[in-house]
Amino acid sequence: MQRHSAWAIFAFLMVAPSQVSSGDEDRPNVLFIAVDDLRPSIGCYGDPHAITPHMDRLATQGVQFNRAYCQVAVCNPSRASLMTGLRPDKLGVWTLPIHFREAMPDAVTLPQWFRKFGYTAVSHGKIYHNPTPDPPSWSEPIRDLPRLPPFYPDGTRARIQKAQEALPERDWRKNNLRGPSTASPDLPDDQVLDGARTNMAIEDLRRLGQSKEPFFLAMGYIRPHLAWVAPKKYWDMHDPAKLPVLTDQHVPKNSPAYAMHNNSELTHYVDLMDLPKPWDDRVVEPENARHLMHAYYACVSYIDAQIGRLLNALEEEGLADKTIVVLWSDHGWKLGEHRGWGKMTNYEIDARVPLLIAGPGVECAGQQTDQLAELLDLYPTLCELAGIEVPKFVDGASLVPILRNVDAKVHDGAVNQYYRRHEGQQYMGYSIRTNDYRLVEWRDFSTGEVTARELYDHRTDDSETESIIDSAEPSVIDELTALLLATHPRKGLVMTPSIHAQWKPDGSKGKLTFENATDTLVRVLPITSAGRRGKAKRVQPGGKITLNARIGSVYVLESHDGTIQQIQSLSKPTETVVIQRDVPSETGRMLVTPVR
């Protein structure tokens, strides 16, 4: 991984206004819809319990991918990979804490690339992993939500405090316990978070649709991510007695001890603190499981209604025929499968995602495909559909051949991966899915040495209940292994970006002052040695702040309007950083102002 000197000038690609040629105004718009934690529990995917008429409608207007897979089954690395067009091993982002800008400062995101060709890129909601929205990707600053009414009942805060007081001192939830995992407030759609954001997205859709320039409008929905909060009317749509509850599940047989996740995501919530792990003797009680199922399906129906509002606005504005619509989820989700609740494995239930693409250039509207696809493919696919250059740096493959012929093959295998810590050791599990098999190869994270393998035959075991790695034909294993190694050779990996690892606080105290000489708000975020961004401090235009810091501390400076992205560190007891915009060079790069 590339190393940088102490006060290196970090180059950051800033998209200058493009020279729009004649005909650019005819390029299609892009409506880019992300839904967090959405497994294919959608009517068009054959789920009889889902009430999703609007996503079903979108499926009839485009191509439905039945075998689409994320790169990593957790929010941050999945979204970072999709949005940069880079595989996680190249980008250096595999976990929740590390922002891709620290791992690869010069990464060019999908909306940045579209801006280069004259697009106005605007974002709402969760496109990147919260709370790291990456302002440089967008043409306009991301607008804040209006204040919304509480969705938890009175007394919730006291309930949380009481539960925290009862926890042992070293319990990680002592200062990090959340409210109940579910809520059904009797509120209008737009008085709950995703509905309010949909209002804002529709406003922008109508505004941008009047412009001569094409738009790239991104709307990222939070639900059905936890907490499962949806207006009461969406709960009332579903009869919980008719929802399936899985009671016969087991951890996949012959799998290594570190293959499954421990369900800890749900134990953040005050009502699920004692949720059993998949390998425990205890199980989630059927009535509790039924309630959680009910909450998930209610949230999916709520989001479906908001997507319907977006699609209706697109039609009302006369934009439907000239707008590419893509709907995707960052990963799947277990609702009891493998005795798990959540994501964070390499298995089908977590890696498989819904993917719908409709609009200009989609010649097979209303059809489904069983051809393999990766979320990584969306970058080149949208470029080709929009008639703009496909950058050479992207790792994915365009899905346009499938949009023209649903039987066309783009991939022989789809790869996803997951990082795991277990008993003091670090592992990276790589999984390749073909038409018939899923091979999982676990490796020592720092050396790349193989530590375990799993193999599932989807011709006979679509639920991946038992690994047959010990009884399978060696030729099958060899063929799958060769396919995996073609894109993911065995090598050691480094978790912490060098941009952070080079600075190690020595304990000496100091003061670091930031002076904002620009006309835009700048956020200053401390970075831990592990790469996690801390709570931001705001520096108003013309203002300054002084932080008590330690020698070697690292900070990210990020402007609200996306024009400034800097890395700074304290190297002596007292230093001042003057934040100002440098004139972009001919290559379109923004340079960091050095410390004085």
Beta bridge partners of 367: 63
- In the numeric block, which tokens belong to residue 139? 């043409």
Q: Is residue 193 a contact partner of residue 225, using CB atoms and an 8 Å limit?
A: no
Are the C-beta atoms of 385 and 398 separated by less than 8 Å?
A: no
Q: Is 129 a catalytic residue?
A: yes
Q: Within 13 Å, how many C-alpha atoms sit on residue 12's CB side?
A: 29
Reduced to 3 states (helix: H, G, I; strand: E, B; else coil), residue 529 is: coil
365 upstream amide cis, omega within 30 of 0: no
Q: Could you give the CA distance from residue 102 to residue 393 in angstroms, rounded to a whole number? A: 18
For the chain, the distance separating the N- and C-terminal CA atoms, rounded to the nearest angstrom, is 28
Q: Measure the CA angle with vertex 208, ends 203 and 210; round to 5°.
A: 110
Is 4 a catalytic site residue? no
State how far the Cα of 165 lies from the Cα of 179, in Å rounded to an integer. Answer: 15
Q: Distance between alpha carbon 262 and the CA centroid of its chain, in Å? A: 20
Using an 8 Å Cβ cutoff, are 77 and 71 in contact? Answer: yes
C-alpha angle 465/468/472, rounded to 5°? 150
Nearest to 345 by CA among 332, 328, 335: 332
As a whole number of angstroms, the distance between CA 596 and CA 137 comes to 29
Separation between Cα atoms, residue 420 and residue 258, nearest integer Å? 7
Q: Considering 75, 299, 364, 383, which one is annotated as catalytic?
A: 75
Which residue matches tokens 């010069």? 106
Strands 228-229 and 182-183, by their bridges, are parallel
Q: How far is CA 159 from the centre of its chain?
A: 31
From the candidates 129, 261, 291, 331, which is the catalytic residue? 129
Q: Using the 8-state DSSP alphabet, how is residue 269 labeled?
A: B
What is the SS3 string spanning 403-447?
HHCCCCCCCCCEEEEEEEEECCEEEEEEEEECCCEEEEEEEECCC
Structure tokens at 584: 């972009």
SS3 291: helix
Instruction: Look at the alpha carbons of 295, 296, 300, 301 in this order and tell me if their dihedral is positive or negative.
Output: negative
* Tokens linked to 14: 């800033």
The residue count for the chain: 596
Six token digits for residue 536: 């931001």
In sequence order, what are the residues at sequence separation of 6 or more whose Cβ sits closer than 8 angstroms to the Cβ of residue 69? 351, 352, 353, 372, 373, 374, 375, 414, 415, 416, 433
Catalytic residues: 75, 129
